[in-house]
Amino acid sequence: AYGRGGRRILTRQWFESGRVYEAYAFEDVQNNWRDVDLSSVIKPKYKFNNVMKLGERSDDVLNLQKCLKSVGFFPETQEPTGYYGGITANAVLNFALKYLPEYKQEVLLVNGKSVGKKTLSKLNEIFN
């Protein structure tokens, strides 16, 4: 569940898990979630210090996945595991393409296989 514009956003998993019994109003934000102004989203707080790369398993990767999930880049149906695999690489790629457009060629070349200093800086700007 995430906050947006003073409203609480409940995911399908919350309903299916039995945590929510009823709700009075619904709005489908799945199709436009990535267009949400990040300043209005209640996000996890985390300070990223270490470069991360494909194949790594760490608490930093776990927190990266949680942060990317909170803003719609990591799949809603995927539990964060702390393993930097293909799903995380895809989430990092999409995040970097959206928030680092001035480095698009560099982002595409790396293809989400690592979180470098520029991406770390943007993550810290948003989540710290």
Specify the 3-state DSSP secondary structure of 115: strand
Q: Which comes out higher in pLDDT, residue 87 or 72?
A: 87
Q: Where are the alpha helices (DSSP H) in 1-128?
A: 12-16, 59-70, 86-99, 104-110, 117-127
Q: Are 113 and 54 in contact (CB under 8 A)?
A: yes
Amino acid at 116: G
Name the pTM for this structure. Answer: 0.68
Q: What is the pLDDT of residues 12-25, one digit of tens each?
A: 666 666 665 555 54
Check whether 26 has a pLDDT greater than 70: no
What is the end-to-end Cα distance of the chain in Å, rounded? 20
Six-digit token string for 125: 């700007």
Structure tokens at 70: 């909170």
What are the backbone dihedrals phi and psi of residue 48, each rounded to the nearest 5 degrees, phi first?
Answer: -90, 125
Q: Six-digit token pair at 113?
A: 């296989």
Helix (H, G, I), strand (E, B) or coil at 55: coil
β-partners of residue 4 are: 7, 41
Measure the CA–CA gap between 43 and 72, rounded to whole angstroms.
Answer: 11
- pLDDT per position as a tens digit, 43-63: 788 999 999 999 999 999 999
